[in-house]
Structure 1
């Protein structure tokens, strides 16, 4: 006699002893092979996270031969620098923690794979691998061999759409249909109709109600049971546990009543409960989708890129206005915003933002360039191959490598609530049920179920994401683009603000420039302007606009020395622009001025003297912020404007000059060691290290591509005077969250009172629960819109 057992890998039924490995039974050789692969590569703990988590692999030799086609590879691969490639694949089988664990440890199965990153809600995995060691086809075959075969459809890929999950809509439809019919069938007993009904149709109607409840419990409500089961398996009680318990009790009790002819049961409450719970989940899902839509890729790029028009003129455009076929100019230090083809210049690209490796990638004319690389050499031009929403750059800002894991106190409070809430609710439910079993057994079931449903902490859980999400949306509309909710939370804790001077407090617009030195010939002015064209420094951009020459020459070699200056070789002539020491100026540098010094072939020629123009409203901003915060100003320039700054800045404001990028970083680190919560406000060029070191790094954007993943927020330069308003509003946002917590707490206390005292039917509790969630969403939305009503963009 054969004994049936479950496959150790996938859980399917199999025959004991037929296929065995390490005293474990498998349904087929495929599952056994996957088990052997995991065991040999020290990945057997895959089975410790979930029981029978795998899928049966299907093997064919040539199923993925189409991935050898280069045109198909180009459509699928999101990024390549010739050595490292990144591909994102949709894997329908992703369903549990074991799936996430194994897919993020693929490097243990193949040394050519660098990393895997799973997006669990989207069921996708982004895989980074070395092209010389493993091909795209081999990556896909590896996934298929361990039971995670990707779904690859080039037609769907071109449409940039994922398969949409409409199961929640179907479940609501079924639950609503059943609820309506059960209510209709319950009317005769509600209104106590004549004996004819009782004798002829009562049993039929009751069994019909039972039949309608089956798809509601076992299909529409299955997510509550699955979530609860997984929570119990991992030894945690999640918020779905009391809901699943309540549904189970109602169904079992109702079935017993009609089976033994004790009554009509609670099928109306049961189907209504599931219907309204699912309806509440849909409302929550739609609201999240709305907030996500409000903060799409455009929210991350308030910066501009230089487009070259057909007549050769240069035009600064918002980065998301670049379309396929546009010719764009990229200077030294700028990120490539879209995929394109190199048509002028020589590219030396730093793709460390994408791959984590700082090795320069050289590209020549005609080569394809992927978004995300930072140009490290002279200016280049490329033809856009895609629009920005289709490029890999849109994913960079949320890349794990650039996350700062600061946890705030109120987040810990939420975690504690989630951890202990269910246990408290279950205790109240069981104690109140025991009381009513002794006092009035007819109400015990209603009390037990109502307590489980009314005390669901959904309203508490929604307070934070909806408050912060709405603030992110409002801030974005006013030119302040914050990376995520965590960054907004950190803003509320800030007490120290560090400002860069050049390009942050000062603006290119309105600056006055004078030249002192040997008169410039037309040729020399052309050489200087051609050199400046490659630089993205604020002084370089202003000086480039100041010079009148239109004769732009091709540069043979270019280097930018951060914090010092730039140099180039043009037609065997060596040009240097920068600090006095950098150009080896034989004269003593004047400490009371900001200047760019110029030398040709190592012979000092002269200097361009800048009279800085400060942004309108910046002094009022600093005076306002000084009342509640510590203010510092850091400048890479000399101390020429010390007296002017001391007159304008509030008393005891610390100002530091001649600060190199590493000096700024060390200053911020020192403040943090003194328990200060520090924000760095800089131009994103020489301040990347300081921006990343700070608790909140804010990059100022003014018609230049200053995007850097090191920052937590990008502020439109003309809205800098609103910075203090944004900080205060983030603090008010935290107060709104705490107020929502209090409202949710009172709601639960009041609801529990009526539930425990037997005055609340389960179906009413099911209606009130989603209404409470909606009320919290409404409260946070109205409150955030109210506190931001006076916030107006400077546009």
Structure 2
């Protein structure tokens, strides 16, 4: 029987070929995978790439160790009793078909709710129903379709960067071949006739051919694959002209030595691939550096309250948490590490992790997972391990919460790349046709030189390297952005809206006085412990101002957004908030921000706050007023209006008694009129407004308030640098545009020389990566110089 190709994996099959559904398969495993896809209406997997699958191996008993709970605990990063999340490393991931099938695992098994692929790290993050499904079953499913996960309990790490050694091997082979071919070409360069022509010319030429073979067949295969996939998808990508140039150079050189027309262009060919791969290696190393800067140094400036052995509470940075630390988690605070609940009534919202909003009740002794948010007062927990900051980064960038943003400059880069390839191919064919009639000996050189010199790599690098460096600079100055798109959006804003309490006011320097009936000792204890559970700026300020009292765990705690908080202990209850919330009619004359208190539904009195505004507030608003429309939306009363009018520029809009929904609608209204809105808030009551705005910045002041609604987190110490951050964003976009201009100038000059036949392909190959390097150097220097204004 004639051999045929397996429909699933592409391997050759012989007499053992299995035929099913008019298709041939090399083994029963490949046939089974095809049946699984066919039964679940997933056969379009094969439309993305022919024979994309891998041959499944015998997995009988291979993953039995995944039935042991202690091993599962090491591999599973989240488990709330209903859902489990695990990230698995799958080395075989290699193409768009792999991504497609791995992100559609829920169609193969309904117990898998979601699966996300990180192509760069070759990992898949699975979320599944742990009540009806197990990690072992998920791994077996992956193996059954040919995607065996690599599981090592000793060095397994979901954040571990995998080194692309294949590029190093290809670069080494290209460099070795290039050096030898250049050496063998010396006799022709120096026109050594007698010795060369008489004896060794054919041998040396075929030796150059032999050295070039591994370069053409192995070192350059990434360009062939990329070009082929692009053409299949009807896209002329950046690698099409490069792959075409390599093939033409090799065929022409081989033709020359076969018919003794010359030594060909093997030196140019091997040099071309060496310098192309050298440029790619440089880019990869630079990207890895930028990734390292973002993953491990740009920590969120969020803090957590640590309870010392003597009962004192003090804030620490989340990355200073150690195993065994006792932590206080207030209402609406994020749980930064895995731990065990010690005291309090926990009601945990894991929607940041799972996307499901149902809060889970936990009792003392239950395990709590990082990423959950406490929604029912304060609790105390013990940390089981230190924080993995990369996990918080993963939560912040979760696709479930990402907003669709305009990405104008990325679109511009893609648009240029697509049209650029068409233009380059047109110039190459027209100029080659011209030289075929004028001087056919120059035609090939012109064709290959144009294809190589006009590669739009420099254009493609301009935006990511510029914006990536700006992200790093912002991080060093305690301004943390979710991604590079935020820089583009920040540069485009024309309206800035501020929350008041906790945003333009500082909690650390505020004072308060009490007016009303004296509170009993039990009421003072209940007041202090109710405030202890809240993260609202006024609650935090009042909590710090009150005298120390015994710590009790409340029987009930409720926070009514925009109104106040309520706590109960045994038979006593207390309300803290607005006058209406505690049952007292609004005051007629309001001079300052006030918080009212009622105990067991009896009005007691109020605390009047004397706000301390952030240092440099007036100067910041005067800077911003020159270019932006400014507004302050506050949920408080108008008590501070006169002070604000003195501090802020004229015509600054001041709106008070604004509920969270009012803020959101205000932003919507301005956006409908074409405004690009930047919203700055404290991340609590402002979550909706932050999400609605074009850019939402949450201000952090030693409070562990974390919300995916925000696009950036700004340390409160850097509040007066906001104008500089916006200006640097605008400068970054200008740098990107200048980099585009430089790239175009380089291509115009290079192509002008190439079409005249005065540019050798090997010189073009050297200049191409140099142009990319020059763009990276330009953007890096330009951004660093521009960033010097940040003190």
TM-score w.r.t. structure 1 length? 0.97
Task: Render the CA deviation track for 1:152-189: whole Å, top value 9, x for unaligned.
Answer: 11122169635432111111111111111111111122
Farther-moved stretch of structure 1 (299-308 vs 630-639): 299-308
The answer to whether the Cα contact below 8 Å between 2:621 and 2:648 also exists between their aligned partners in 1 is yes
The answer to whether the Cα contact below 8 Å between 2:17 and 2:27 also exists between their aligned partners in 1 is no
Q: Which residue of 2 aligns with 1:489?
A: 488
Q: Which residue of 1 aligns with 2:311?
A: 312
Query: Partners in 2 of 1:787 and 1:80 — Cα distance?
Result: 46
Distance 1:391 1:65, change over 3 A: farther
Q: Which residue of 2 aligns with 1:742?
A: 741
The answer to whether the Cα contact below 8 Å between 1:529 and 1:547 also exists between their aligned partners in 2 is yes
Q: Which residue of 1 aligns with 2:95?
A: 96
Question: 1:17 deviation in Å?
Answer: 9.9
Task: Map 1:155-194 to 2 at 5 A.
Answer: 155-157=154-156, 161=160, 163-194=162-193
Question: 1:14 deviation in Å?
Answer: 2.4
Query: Partners in 1 of 2:183 and 2:20 — Cα distance?
Result: 57
SS at match of 1:118: strand
SS at match of 1:655: strand
Farther-moved stretch of structure 1 (578-587 vs 757-766): 578-587
SS at match of 2:492: coil
Q: Which residue of 2 aligns with 1:217?
A: 216
Distance 1:545 1:400, change over 3 A: same
Query: Partners in 1 of 2:585 and 2:241 — Cα distance?
Result: 81
Q: Which residue of 2 aligns with 1:410?
A: 409
SS at match of 1:789: helix
Distance 1:462 1:158, change over 3 A: closer
SS at match of 1:86: strand
Q: Which residue of 1 aligns with 2:719?
A: 720
Distance 1:591 1:735, change over 3 A: same
Q: Which residue of 1 aligns with 2:272?
A: 273
Query: Partners in 1 of 2:658 and 2:149 — Cα distance?
Result: 51
Task: Render the CA deviation track for 1:570-617: whole Å, top value 9, x for unaligned.
Answer: 242212111111111367465322111112211211211101111111
Q: Which residue of 2 aligns with 1:458?
A: 457
Task: Map 1:123-134 to 2 at 5 A.
Answer: 123-134=122-133
Q: Which residue of 2 aligns with 1:607?
A: 606
Query: Partners in 2 of 1:361 and 1:644 — Cα distance?
Result: 45
Q: Which residue of 2 aligns with 1:617?
A: 616
Q: Which residue of 1 aligns with 2:473?
A: 474
The answer to whether the Cα contact below 8 Å between 1:84 and 1:130 also exists between their aligned partners in 2 is yes
Q: Which residue of 1 aligns with 2:446?
A: 447
Query: Partners in 2 of 1:152 and 1:651 — Cα distance?
Result: 63
Task: Map 1:70-85 to 2 at 5 A.
Answer: 70-85=69-84
Task: Map 1:7-46 to 2 at 5 A.
Answer: 7-15=6-14, 18-46=17-45
Q: Which residue of 1 aligns with 2:535?
A: 536
The answer to whether the Cα contact below 8 Å between 1:300 and 1:483 also exists between their aligned partners in 2 is no
The answer to whether the Cα contact below 8 Å between 2:87 and 2:126 also exists between their aligned partners in 1 is yes
Note if 1:660 corresponds to 2:652.
Answer: no
Farther-moved stretch of structure 1 (722-731 vs 403-412): 403-412
SS at match of 1:529: helix
Note if 1:355 corresponds to 2:354.
Answer: yes
Q: Which residue of 2 aligns with 1:759?
A: 758
Query: Partners in 2 of 1:589 and 1:345 — Cα distance?
Result: 40
SS at match of 1:126: strand
SS at match of 1:382: strand
Distance 1:164 1:188, change over 3 A: same
The answer to whether the Cα contact below 8 Å between 1:297 and 1:389 also exists between their aligned partners in 2 is no
Q: Which residue of 2 aligns with 1:333?
A: 332
Query: Partners in 2 of 1:161 and 1:612 — Cα distance?
Result: 47
The answer to whether the Cα contact below 8 Å between 1:89 and 1:126 also exists between their aligned partners in 2 is yes
Query: Partners in 1 of 2:770 and 2:587 — Cα distance?
Result: 74
Structure 2, unpaired ranges of 5+: none
Note if 1:259 corresponds to 2:247.
Answer: no
Q: Which residue of 2 aligns with 1:345?
A: 344
SS at match of 1:735: helix
Question: 1:494 deviation in Å?
Answer: 0.3
The answer to whether the Cα contact below 8 Å between 1:460 and 1:741 also exists between their aligned partners in 2 is yes
Q: Which residue of 2 aligns with 1:729?
A: 728
The answer to whether the Cα contact below 8 Å between 1:595 and 1:608 also exists between their aligned partners in 2 is yes
Question: 1:198 deviation in Å?
Answer: 2.4
SS at match of 2:774: helix
Question: 1:298 deviation in Å?
Answer: 4.5
Structure 1, unpaired ranges of 5+: none
Query: Partners in 1 of 2:746 and 2:196 — Cα distance?
Result: 42
Question: 1:387 deviation in Å?
Answer: 2.1
Question: 1:636 deviation in Å?
Answer: 0.7
Task: Render the CA deviation track for 1:134-167: whole Å, top value 9, x for unaligned.
Answer: 1111111111111112111112216963543211
SS at match of 2:448: helix
Question: 1:787 deviation in Å?
Answer: 1.5
Task: Render the CA deviation track for 1:101-143: whole Å, top value 9, x for unaligned.
Answer: 1111111111111111111111111111111121111111111
Question: 1:391 deviation in Å?
Answer: 6.9
Task: Render the CA deviation track for 1:220-272: whole Å, top value 9, x for unaligned.
Answer: 11111111111112121111111111111111111222222221111111111
Q: Which residue of 2 aligns with 1:584?
A: 583
Query: Partners in 2 of 1:615 and 1:322 — Cα distance?
Result: 29
Note if 1:505 corresponds to 2:511.
Answer: no
Query: Partners in 2 of 1:359 and 1:338 — Cα distance?
Result: 20
Farther-moved stretch of structure 1 (160-169 vs 92-101): 160-169
Query: Partners in 1 of 2:162 and 2:287 — Cα distance?
Result: 19
Note if 1:105 corresponds to 2:104.
Answer: yes
Q: Which residue of 1 aligns with 2:231?
A: 232
The answer to whether the Cα contact below 8 Å between 2:617 and 2:720 also exists between their aligned partners in 1 is yes
Question: 1:634 deviation in Å?
Answer: 0.6
Distance 1:500 1:591, change over 3 A: same
Farther-moved stretch of structure 1 (194-203 vs 501-510): 194-203
Query: Partners in 2 of 1:704 and 1:580 — Cα distance?
Result: 26
Question: 1:59 deviation in Å?
Answer: 3.4
Question: 1:393 deviation in Å?
Answer: 2.7
The answer to whether the Cα contact below 8 Å between 2:580 and 2:586 also exists between their aligned partners in 1 is no
Alignment: residue pair count: 791
Question: 1:78 deviation in Å?
Answer: 1.4
Query: Partners in 2 of 1:62 and 1:749 — Cα distance?
Result: 62
The answer to whether the Cα contact below 8 Å between 1:339 and 1:391 also exists between their aligned partners in 2 is no
The answer to whether the Cα contact below 8 Å between 1:580 and 1:589 also exists between their aligned partners in 2 is no
Task: Render the CA deviation track for 1:276-315: whole Å, top value 9, x for unaligned.
Answer: 0000001111111111122225424111111122222222
Farther-moved stretch of structure 1 (765-774 vs 244-253): 244-253
Query: Partners in 1 of 2:642 and 2:568 — Cα distance?
Result: 38
Question: 1:18 deviation in Å?
Answer: 4.4
SS at match of 1:185: helix
Question: 1:324 deviation in Å?
Answer: 2.4
Query: Partners in 2 of 1:568 and 1:394 — Cα distance?
Result: 34
Distance 1:484 1:187, change over 3 A: same
The answer to whether the Cα contact below 8 Å between 2:691 and 2:710 also exists between their aligned partners in 1 is yes
The answer to whether the Cα contact below 8 Å between 2:37 and 2:43 also exists between their aligned partners in 1 is yes
TM-score w.r.t. structure 2 length? 0.97
Distance 1:688 1:556, change over 3 A: same
Task: Render the CA deviation track for 1:329-385: whole Å, top value 9, x for unaligned.
Answer: 110010011112222222110011111111111222222211111101121122222
Query: Partners in 2 of 1:587 and 1:195 — Cα distance?
Result: 109
Query: Partners in 2 of 1:644 and 1:60 — Cα distance?
Result: 73
SS at match of 2:758: coil
